[in-house]
Amino acid sequence: MNSPESLLTALDDDQRVAAETLLGPVCVLAGAGTGKTRAITHRIAYGVATGAYTPTRVMALTFTSRAAAELRGRLRALGAGGVAARTFHAAALSQLGYFWPLVVGGNAPEILPAKGRLLGQAAERARLKVDTATLRDVAAEIEWRKVSGLGLDGYALAGRPTPGSLTTEQVVELHAAYESLKDERRQFDFEDVLLVMAGMIESEPSVAMHVREQYRFFVVDEYQDVSPLQQRLLELWLGDRRELCVVGDASQTIYSFAGARAEYLLDFERRYDDAAVVRLEQNYRSTAPIIDAANRLMRGRSGALTLHAATTAPADDPVILRYPSDVAEARGIAQRVLELINAGERPESIAILYRVNSQSAVIERALDDVGVSSRVRGGARFFEQPEVKQAVMTLRAASLTISGEPLFKSVSDVLRSLGWSHEAPEGPGAVRARWESLNAIARLVDDAPPEMTFRQFTDDLMSRQATQHEPTVEAVTLATLHSAKGLEWESVFIAGVSEGLVPISYATGFEAIDEERRLLYVGITRARRRLVVSWAEQGDRQRGVRESSRFLTEIGTRTPRSR
């Protein structure tokens, strides 16, 4: 186990303050790239090492399985592997599975994997004709209603935009039919898991006592993304105790449409008048010109931190480019990406970000035309690809019988039997995509500890598969601005930064426009060394001329360029 003092030596002064403040309400305001994950994992590990925390009584909460897996991995490496690091849903589901047989009896209801099919049946019951896209929007509205703590009557009065051509009354009717069908079939959706667990704690003193006895210390990452329902459950887990540490950045609140409320972070000091507040503003990710652009974009916004670049080395300014059309923009980006790769930059260190998924197709085609492999983030999950499933199963079977060989030989022999080779096939396409997936598994050997056995390697691989902790693929990443949150690349291209896309056309009113501003801020702060922002004057099927985004005036006052 690491000594307490050794856990602090790798931290800067502000991170160290956060790590040493172990008790009572603590709020860590952590800007992009300031090492918040390092700070909170070292804080937890320091608490364990000093004896302030019993590992099994600490709960670290976050919002994605990937982030939870990263927390667990870092905590294990720091000697705090006994700490639970979970998403809100995973923590609530685990508790529900334990308490339901004791409180209600029998097994808990089945969890719906998705709402679509049941919603379609609910629409038939309500005699409503709705298409698939409208059903997806209704599903999102059901989620928003539940995480916002609203019943059907409250939702009807909320003034929400209605999906498709449905009226408010029809939407409410569809919600009711969905809930009725779900109850008849004894099923829960993901929001029900949190609602039912909160209800159990509120109504059953024995459940409340057991939960609060199990966990005493809570750490919540990305606290700006918490919803009213999650906040309610968190408060119930805490009871009347105050051992809560929250970490967040109001400037990265980009999920308000899904029920996230940044005011829980912004009002933390008012709710806990004795809270310790620590600000992390030293950015270790990006160059000074990129940080300057991000700061200019968020200047004067509520809760915005002022970032300071840790490096003072000379660096290029962000580039702003104007193109005549979407196709020209995609081709221009592809050519610049190719030049970077030819100059020695790795494809996986480059990302092209955009506002909506429909923008990706023209960019994918442009990259294919210049022979650059790409991968759309949020597409098919890595471990759900058939070739990856086959590779994991074959490697696992081999690891049960093969021992004593160098790890790379064992892994590469199996992968070669599945069609992998050391050399990549020429050009893009399905064959190249398959090779990239198998090669990503092969490259995991490079990151493995020297003493790792073949069996341990496949144990780790299966753990990654269970948590969707994907390895790095040698391809340029294509991603929406939303899905890029929490990631970083050496070079980032942000495409389509024009009025109607950033901000999106349906963003009306100050709050909605400000959310779009924060979304662009997230995109900018993904870049380590190089940032290119572009827009096109005209779309392929659009007659009118677009205008550049209003945000470009703020981030590009020193570096406007056009093409």
Annotated binding site for ATP: 30-37
Q: Tokens for 17? A: 């303050």
What is the amino acid identity at position 320? I
CA distance 34 to 269: 21
What is the Cβ-side half-sphere exposure of residue 348, based on CA atoms within 13 angstroms?
10
Q: Transcribe 333-390 into DSSP letters.
A: HHHHHHHHHHTT--GGGEEEEESSGGGHHHHHHHHHHTT--EEETTSS-GGGSHHHHH
Q: Which residues of 34-60 are buried (b: 16+ CB within 10 A; e: fewer)?
A: bbbbbbbbbbbbbbbbeeebebeebbb
Distance CA 320, CA 536 (A): 11
Residue 513 CB neighbour total at 10 angstroms:
14
Rg (CA), the chain: 25
What CA–CA distance (Å, rounded) separates 199 from 117? Answer: 27
Map 136-175 to HEC letters: HHHHHHHHHHHHCCCCHHHHHCCCCCCCCCCCHHHHHHHH
Sorted by sequence, the CB contacts under 8 Å of residue 388 that are 6+ apart come out as 382, 437, 438, 441
- Answer for the pair 537, 322: CB distance below 8 angstroms, yes or no: yes
Contact criterion met (CB below 8 Å) for 477 and 489:
yes
| Omega prior to 503 cis, within 30 of 0 | yes
Distance CA 41, CA 370 (A): 42
Token pair 């990006």 is found at: 286
| 47: three-class secondary structure by DSSP | helix
The full DSSP string for 287-332 is: -HHHHHHHHHHHTT-TT----EES--S--PPPEEEEESSHHHHHHH
Q: Which residue has the tokens 């989620």?
A: 143
Q: At what angle do helices 88-103 and 190-203 cross, to 10 degrees?
A: 50
> Which residues participate in the annotated binding site?
30-37
Q: Are 507 and 470 in contact (CB under 8 A)?
A: no
Strand partners, 87: 62
Residue with tokens 């040698």: 474
Give the DSSP H or E segment for 123.
helix 116-125
Q: Please state the separation of Cα 356 from the chain's center in Å.
A: 16
Q: Which amino acid is at 98?
A: Y
Question: Among all chains, which residue has been given the structure tokens 């008048």?
Answer: 273
